[in-house]
Amino acid sequence: MSEADPQSRKPERPSKHFSDAELMRYARQIILPGWDIEAQSKLAQARVLVVGAGGLGCPIALSLCRAGVGALCLIDNDVVELSNLQRQSLFTEAHLGQSKAQVAVSELKKHNPYVVLSAVQDRVQNCTHEFLGGFDLIIDGSDNFATRDWLNSVAFDSKVPLLSAAAVGYDGQLALYDFSQSDQACYRCVFGEGGVDTRCSELGVLTTTTQVMGALAANAALIWLGQGVNNIENQLLLWSAKTLTSRKITYHRDPLCEVCGTPPEST
């Protein structure tokens, strides 16, 4: 890869010095009990990758951008289509045919000039492990099992926490896999090898399913990055747009998992 290729470079950790304008911008967040300037500083130094600039990626990126994350990279190889506009909230008809990742970044810049934004118009599988390992959090908003499973393996190998969000039909799921702890499960532990694709293009999706799940994912990311807390540790959060209810299902690490399990001792 050339030096100009963003995938060949690790994102630099942003500075945590706040200008007066930034302090004013984030004032309502900084006065929160338990958030304060320290949490805002941690957020301002965090480098986050959002995989998929679609129904989930748009609201996730917008919330993190407004909240003051340090660096945000969006990756998506698709272009904006008419059928995206019902839920992919950073796009309009003027963007049809343009790169989702690049349009998203140009729109996000209008919301917060202090965030270091970058776009990769490619499949995430074409990124180097070094590039992916340079983030403090990877947020998976992709729409297929193969990408989710591949990303889980790379995130585990790189020890980068993986926030996995999904939204199809009236239902959403959220999990935060923290690979720094040996007792934590991974995506493969929970879903196995033979995950089934549940694509919105085939099954449909309510506009608000993606918006609510995007907001919940951004919420979990903020608490994790600013306060270091995982409120869904070893738990899968399920949300229903039909009943307006959520519940958490506890899962466990599979010691025989081919991704995170202990390899058998060689004889």
**Of 43, 11, 5, 47, which Cα lies nearest the Cα of 227?**
43
**Of 150, 137, 131, which Cα lies nearest the Cα of 48?**
137
Question: Please, which residue, 56 or 259, has the CB nearer to Zn ion?
Answer: 259
**Of 215, 206, 217, which Cα lies nearest the Cα of 240?**
206
The distance of closest approach from Cβ of residue 260 to Zn ion in the complex, given in angstroms and rounded to an integer, is: 3
Q: Which of 120, 186, 200, 213: binder of Zn ion (CB under 5 A)?
A: 186
Query: How does DSSP assign 33-63, residue by residue?
Result: TTTHHHHHHHHHT-EEEEE--STTHHHHHHH
190 is a contact residue toward Zn ion (CB under 5 A): no
The distance of closest approach from Cβ of residue 95 to Zn ion in the complex, given in angstroms and rounded to an integer, is: 38
Find the largest Cα–Cα distance for the chain. 63
Q: Which stretch binds Zn ion (CB under 5 A): 100-108, 159-167, 181-189, 214-222?
A: 181-189
Q: Which of 91, 188, 191, 220: binder of Zn ion (CB under 5 A)?
A: 188
The distance of closest approach from Cβ of residue 184 to Zn ion in the complex, given in angstroms and rounded to an integer, is: 9
Contact 260/187 with Cβ under 8 angstroms?
no
Q: Which of residues 226-265 bind Zn ion (CB under 5 A)?
A: 257, 259-260
189 is a contact residue toward Zn ion (CB under 5 A): yes
Give the chain's end-to-end CA distance (angstroms, integer). 40
Question: Please, which residue, 6 or 195, has the CB nearer to Zn ion?
Answer: 195
The distance of closest approach from Cβ of residue 144 to Zn ion in the complex, given in angstroms and rounded to an integer, is: 19
DSSP state letter for 99: B
Question: Please, which residue, 162 or 213, has the CB nearer to Zn ion?
Answer: 162
128: tokens are: 């180097």
Pairing outcome for strands 171-177 and 235-240 = antiparallel
Question: Please, which residue, 167 or 257, has the CB nearer to Zn ion?
Answer: 257
95 is a contact residue toward Zn ion (CB under 5 A): no
The distance of closest approach from Cβ of residue 261 to Zn ion in the complex, given in angstroms and rounded to an integer, is: 6
Q: Give burial (CB, 10 Å; 0-12/13-18/19+) of 214.
A: buried
Distance CA 93, CA 151 (A): 31
Count of residues that bind Zn ion according to CB under 5 A: 6
The distance of closest approach from Cβ of residue 128 to Zn ion in the complex, given in angstroms and rounded to an integer, is: 23
251 phi/psi in degrees, rounded to 5: -125, 165
Q: Which stretch binds Zn ion (CB under 5 A): 79-87, 117-125, 158-166, 188-196?
A: 188-196
The distance of closest approach from Cβ of residue 152 to Zn ion in the complex, given in angstroms and rounded to an integer, is: 8
Question: Please, which residue, 53 or 151, has the CB nearer to Zn ion?
Answer: 151
The residue nearest Zn ion at its CB is: 257
Contact footprint for Zn ion (CB under 5 A): 186, 188-189, 257, 259-260
